[in-house]
Structure 1
Amino acid sequence: MHAGDAPISVVIADDERVVRDGLRAILETQDDITVTGTAADGDHALRLCGALRPDVLLLDVRMPGHDGLWTLGELARGGALGPDGVRVVMLTTFDLDDYVDEALTLGADGFLLKSGSYEELLAAVRAAARGDGALSPGVARRVIDGYAAHRRSLRVAPGDLALLQELTPRERDVLRLVGEGLGNGDIAARLVVSEHTVKTHVSRVLAKLGLPSRGRAAAFARRAGA
């Protein structure tokens, strides 16, 4: 929780070093903002939030291993979000709209487009620290227009739960790991199969569940407890 006149403390989590370094360089030009740590994956980000208790976490949606949604969920389950915890702004791109509903439901405070301006970045960090919504203009309209539709499409109805029974045990394993935020390579290593085999299983899961994308499958898996 940001208090008083102290600088806003920020942790940056992104798997691309150039992005982390760029965001840090911009933020550290400001007297009222300090970057206390950076992370390249969800596990490290979670540990940094526990150790440093930042005011704001800039969190990339997609990272290897455990992704940003997994990290956000862990923070939510641990009671680490909100006025007495950390405010989370997701770092996103337009092709990740499938994840918007999931992140809002879990407790994200906003979304920042990676291609946005310096001014948008600074405004988002300061807004989040105040407890306000932090949406860059480039993504705000898409969030507003799509939020209700995402909620309707991502709810798991009893009929959807029955669809899980159509999956083979290995397909359910793959769906569960997709829901945990693992990429194909990590899933292949976990299940001791080839990455090509994982891609085939993911395609079959999407077809059987009638889902258009991996993002929807991840949200389905989390909500259905696959």
Structure 2
Amino acid sequence: MAGERHPDVILMDIQMPRMSGIEAAQIIMKRLPETKIVILTTFDDQEYIYQGIRAGAVGYLLKDAEVEDMLAAVRSAFRGEAVYKTGLAAQALSRVAGSGFAIPGTDPDSILLEPLTDREREILQEMAYGLRNDQIARKLVISEGTVKSHVHRILQKFGCEDRTQAVVMALRNGIVQ
């Protein structure tokens, strides 16, 4: 159906009769890479989140989410924002960061408005590991203000509004591992 209708956003159930939502997401992302997929499930399961990210989903919601939250997630996905609003999402994002996958056939830097500096890549990698600004500052022995400046520039270069969106884009495109 997605091939016929070319939707902007798909709210995809993980549990489906003929194939899983993860398998369907993989097929759709190969054929319609501009479509945004938000995985919907009853389980806050790190493995589902991990597989969904790897399949190209931009979000993950629980079925018991409020209707307003689901609508907001669809709108956010449409704008290109990441939507990972479950307790295990940060752990799954960190796991993806360590797996080093990329979308085949893409130039990782082609999604950037301007190339990242070495320091920005370093900070982006730490963001992918789930570190906060103060933790990154301590680890890299720089001020928290400097980290904030770099994060701001990273978001500008990705054309993103938030850290999660930048990290998901970087992970999906192999910019960080």
Deviation, 1:151, is 6.1
1:89 aligns with 2:34: no
Letter in 2 for 1:116: A
> What residue number does 1:198 align with?
none
Q: Distance in 2 between matches of 1:123 and 1:114?
A: 14
Q: Distance in 1 between matches of 2:13 and 2:40?
A: 4
Matches within 5 A, 1:193-212: none
Q: Which runs of 4+ in 1 moved over 4 A?
A: 150-153
Structure 1 134/55 Cα, relative in aligned 2: closer, same or farther at 3 Å? same
Where 1:65 maps in the other structure, the secondary structure is: coil
Let me know the Cα RMSD of the aligned residues: 2.3
1:56 aligns with 2:5: no
Q: Distance in 2 between matches of 1:128 and 1:149?
A: 22
CA deviations over 1:1-26 (Å, ceiling 9, x no partner): xxxxxxxxxxxxxxxxxxxxxxxxxx
Structure 2: runs of 5 or more not aligned: 102-177
> What residue number does 2:68 align with?
119
Q: Distance in 2 between matches of 1:56 and 1:151?
A: 24
Q: Distance in 2 between matches of 1:63 and 1:151?
A: 28
> What residue number does 1:101 align with?
50
Letter in 1 for 2:7: P
Letter in 2 for 1:81: P
Deviation, 1:53, is 1.1
Q: Distance in 2 between matches of 1:131 and 1:106?
A: 16
1:71 aligns with 2:24: yes
Q: How many residues end up aligned between the 2 structures?
A: 101
Matches within 5 A, 1:133-212: 133-136=82-85, 139=86, 141-149=87-95
Structure 1: runs of 5 or more not aligned: 1-47, 156-226
8 Å contact 1:98–1:150 — kept in the other structure? no
Sequence identity (%): 32
